[in-house]
Chains A and B, each alone.
Chain A
Amino acid sequence: MTATIEPELGRPRRRKEDARLITGRTRWTDNIALPGLLHMAVLRSPLAHAKISRLDAEAARSMPGVIAVLTGTDLAEQQGSLPCAWPITPDMASPQHPALAVDEVRFAGEPVALVVARSAAEARDAVEAIDVDYEDLPVVLDMEAALADGSPLVHQDLGTNRCATWVFDSGEAGTGEDVDRVIAEARERGDVVLERRFRQQRLIPAFMEPRSVVVDPTGEQITMWSATQVPHILRLMLAMTLGVPEQKIRVIAPDVGGGFGGKLQVTPEEVLTFLAARRIGRPVKWTESRSESMVSAHHGRDQIQRLTLAARRDGTLLGLKVDLLADMGAYLGLVTPGIPILGAFMFNAIYKLPAYRFSCTNVFTNKTWTDAYRGAGRPEATYAIERMMDELAAELGKDPLEVREQNWIKHEEFPYTTVAGLTYDSGNYEAATEEAKRLFDYQALRREQAERRERGDAVQLGIGVSTYTEMCGLAPSRVLGSLSYGAGGWEHAAIRMLATGKVEVITGSSPHGQGHETAWSQIIADKLGVPFEDVEVIHGDTQSAHKGMDTYGSRSLSVGGVAAAMAADRVIEKASKIAAHLLECSEDDLEFTAGRFAVRGTDRGTAIQEVALAAFAAHDLPEGVEPSLDAEVTFDPENFSFPHGTHLCAAEVDTETGRVRIRSYVCVDDVGKVVNPLIVEGQVHGGLAQGIAQALYEEAVFDEMGTLTTATLADYLVPSAADLPTFTTARTETPATTNPLGVKGVGEAGTIASTPAVVNAVVDAVRHLGVNDVDMPCTPMRVWHAIHRGAGAAPTEMATGAEAGGGLGSIDGGDQ
């Protein structure tokens, strides 16, 4: 044994899971085939709100290959109500959420009936043969209209479309002043008081692998494979929802192809596949089509934000008041009501804000329900405050970076307790900003901008700034408890030392593309001093990885990875006792480096692999020591982690067409210590793409009937590499002080920071033409209208689908 193993932490390894994921030769749920497997298809409501007055399934039942047709009436007694684990207020209006609609549908896409047949094609054919009569009910789609007196109700029995109102007030909480008083005084003094209304459009997570579920009811346990981010939560919730004993359910998340929060859910289809398989007694598979996914998998964002910002004329912030409306859609999913609330702690961002009030009203509408989507509450908050900081800079005629620097927390001021009550442990906003300005060549671009304005160039240049922080590592359980969340935020890990010296790491953090297998292997290889190749990471099966809180909220590394590292420490502790015994020395005389226990001052020692074998043989162990090196840890973080960074975007706006072209994009992120820089780089690139997509491209649009008109990827514009600039990325490294690895999380940073950077750039390019906002996505038409009619007249809701036009959405004929 030599001690010359290269450190794994910080090494840009290619991901060990990629070959199988990229080639598809792996265990995607839809690849699973079981003997006697049946196939399920779902009939969905074409209407946004209607009574089901008659449902005739006779013709479908007699179709070839059909085993069963089930309706809401058939399952009403068994299906329970889909779980919502986050009742944000004691008086939250919480509707029943049946997996299969029983007598009323409340959004277009809601499951109405299911068919189980011998083949997927036969199931689909039979779905078409189900005859349903609907009686139209009034549809309400707009949040403000939904709250108006006399609005049609999404849920008649609730008597209101107001789900809940959640408030944080720094005056009441004792974390700051009374913002209403602060704003009133600012007005009296003639300070700056800015009011803006921003719209967070509705987005669709659009994960690559459509959702898929297989349920095998033929064993003692019912086994469910699902393309889910949350196998552990899913198992618990199935047990609680359906009344099945928890130990009788096994859930497996095999390889999962993306989620972005969109698979942080307990879905109607999971419940339905479970119930259908159990009823029929044979394995059943359901795999959705892309269009099905677009209309029925939960959506994200969808807020109307009203903000009031008060500042002194010198730029010093005085107070921020936030009033949100958040669209729940028709039902509450797993964490639907809590998503906008996560933003409550982030509107103050990196700034020293004396007074703050956040109020969010959650609203029901006849649209697809919303829930977590990459960033979940924090992108919305970051967008609002970063847009406001640019507005403030414009109002004062100052450089937007200068106004930010004037107000941000200085690096020597950490730890810093914010006006929202969180304690930021560390950060260095100055360093990240300085590096970003250098890479961007900030001053040269400002000069070019001035020159183009001067000569009235058709193509104007804008520079957008976004300095952000986010709360990652969800989450300290006590904080979740204080927010009325239904579970803790810990994570579990275990290490199994095999007789041959190889290592199995079991993690409760179930990946869906993040590269846990590589990163965890690197952490454990370093800790135990074993080769990277000797470490296997096991996840996603409640039978082998029995305990976990799964993957979301940039928590995997900073909670789950830390748990794994701590379990490795325990393995070393246990091995140390046996090694001392074998080497006939005191434990205090041992030092453990690079996988070897050595007796200080001698050349005697033993490798951890040898200790593992000795533990396995158990022939000669010290008194009272168990014959195992295995160890497990459940880690509950004491605080969130707070990645931060500075993003700068240069955008060219073609004033003749309104088209926006991102010319350069620089981001300097501080995500703390880095395990694998290549994975970090990938997360940043993907995050930027998704955040830029919100700024420029993506929007879920409903027509006035409540039909989603962007239900294909031809209409819902997910950008590709061809549409995006080359990103310049860099990092500063300020280790987190709240976990032993010093890591912070990187899964959402790019998404959170980039959206305001891009929109700020667009507005900056045309502000001199009288524009101070453009609704997202900043489509060419919206930008053009903003320039030529003034921002106030920019149409926010386009009529769609009313006229025939070109493109896929209009195809209904043709000859060839």
Chain B
Amino acid sequence: MIPSAFDYVAPSTVEEAVRALAEAGEDAKVLAGGQSLLPVLRMRLAAPSTVVDLGRIAELRGVHEDGDRLVIGAMTTHYDVQRDPLVRQHALLLALATDTVADPQVRHRGTFGGSLAHADPAGDLLAPALALDAEMVVAGPNGRRTVPAEDFFVDYFTTALAPDELLVQVRVPKFSGWGAHYEKFNRVAQAWSIVAVAAAVRVDGGSIAEARVGLTNMASTPVRARGVEEALIGRPATAETIRAAAQHAAEGTQPVTDANADADYRRHLVEVLTSRAVTAAAAG
């Protein structure tokens, strides 16, 4: 279909973009890779007055190191995140989750920051960002602020971003030497997750020294499976430990019932997938 008419602004700096957003008011939409926004516009589920396109802001793209942090520009495409050696080395979980996003065409257009700011709980990058304690660097009229991932995701498609704010960077602590796995469960290759589990584990001397587990599509926001993490840490990396720990995966989740899965099935799935994800992460 054809979107409603809108004004189009393509600023070349973050400051211009923030100003454009402020001027356009609450009906403005930010265009990153467009893989979620354009379908919404074409189906006329949204009719923004202004679309602010971030595509020409060079500083928003790319990955670099900053001490013990990786800094990923919000407009870095999934394809670039997947292929980035720094991400593979220090945030393998993120790279593995990105590998599963949609299809090659979407991964070449869609962006890391766009996915996070869109805050679809079925999106694959939210749970890894949460599990890895990523920090969101947000630019607004009053400068920049940093929001931890656990405060960033507020509800379905809702983040801590104010209407006149932009996500510009994601800062991810380095998890060098950790094993990681993203266990995605969906029905066809390009589909969203029905449930997915993001696991990163540091095994030391046969025991699980540290563990991070995040859940995709088990509530209106990504969920950190702290019960699972606690049941893993300090215990031998055995099948029994992992199976027992995975029994905690559904704690505190609020899964929905939809066409692909009812809530009970999701609660069951998340335990099975957690066990598989942690097993794979501990092995690698």
Q: Interface of A with B (CB < 8 Å)?
A: 120-121, 124-125, 128, 289, 291-292, 656-657, 659, 697, 701, 709-710, 712, 714-715, 717-720, 722-723, 779-781, 784-785, 795, 798-808, 810-816
Contact = CB atoms under 8 A, between A and B. Distances in A.
Interface in B44-60: 44-46
Interface string B62-105: 00000000000000000000000000000000000000000100
Contacts of B42: 289
A814 B1 contact: no
Given A120-B2, A124-B2, A803-B257, A814 B44 contact: no
Interface of chain B, main secondary structure: loop
Nearest to A119: B2
A816 B123 contact: no
B191 A717 contact: yes
A484 to B, nearest CB: 39
B110 to A, nearest CB: 11
B265 A710 contact: no
A803 B117 contact: no
Contacts of A813: 46, 156-158
A814 B166 CA distance: 12
A291 B192 CA distance: 19
Interface stretch (B181-189, B225-233, B234-242): B181-189
B259 A701 contact: yes
In the A-B complex, the 3 residue pairs with the closest CB atoms:
A806-B122, A816-B117, A722-B189
Contacts of A795: 262
Contacts of A816: 29-32, 37, 113-114, 117-118, 161, 166-167
A626 to B, nearest CB: 55
Nearest to A120: B2
A697 B257 contact: no
A815 B5 contact: no
Given A697-B188, A720-B189, A812-B45, A124 B1 contact: yes
Nearest to B32: A816
Nearest to A788: B268
Contacts of A780: 185, 187, 194, 261
A805 B159 contact: no
Contacts of B45: 811-812
Nearest to B271: A656
With a 10 A CB-CB cut-off, give which of A709, A714, A719, A814 has the most chain B CB atoms: A814
B119 interface: yes
B190 A720 contact: yes
B258 A800 contact: yes
A807 B262 contact: no
Given A718-B188, A811-B36, 10 more contacts: A697-B188, A722-B189, A723-B189, A781-B261, A798-B257, A799-B257, A807-B192, A813-B156, A814-B36, A815-B118
Contacts of A714: 191-192
Contact of B117 (A701, A806, A815): A815
B117 A720 contact: no
Contacts of B121: 805-806
B4 interface: yes
B256 A805 contact: yes
Interface of B: 1-2, 4-5, 29-32, 36-37, 39-40, 42-46, 103, 113-114, 117-123, 156-159, 161, 163, 166-167, 185, 187-194, 217, 220, 256-262, 265, 268-269, 272-273
A781 to B, nearest CB: 5
23 contacts: A120-B2, A125-B4, A291-B43, A656-B272, A710-B259, A714-B192, A718-B188, A780-B185, A798-B262, A800-B258, A800-B259, A802-B257, A805-B256, A806-B121, A807-B192, A808-B36, A810-B156, A811-B40, A812-B157, A814-B37, A814-B157, A816-B29, A816-B167
B1 A289 contact: yes
B113 A719 contact: no
With a 10 A CB-CB cut-off, give which of B2, B103, B163, B166 has the most chain A CB atoms: B2
A572 B39 CA distance: 57
A785 to B, nearest CB: 7
A781 B256 contact: no
Nearest to B1: A289
B269 A657 contact: yes
B259 A798 contact: yes
Contacts of B166: 816
B217 A806 contact: yes
A290 to B, nearest CB: 8
A815 B167 CA distance: 10
B46 A812 contact: yes
A808 B118 CA distance: 11
B120 A807 contact: yes
Contacts of B220: 804
A726 B40 CA distance: 35
Given A120-B2, A802-B257, A805-B258, A814 B188 contact: no
A128 B44 CA distance: 10
Contacts of B5: 121, 125
A812 B156 CA distance: 10
Nearest to B185: A657
Given A804-B220, A808-B39, A816-B118, A781 B260 contact: yes
Contacts of B119: 814-815
Contact of B187 (A289, A697, A709, A802): A697
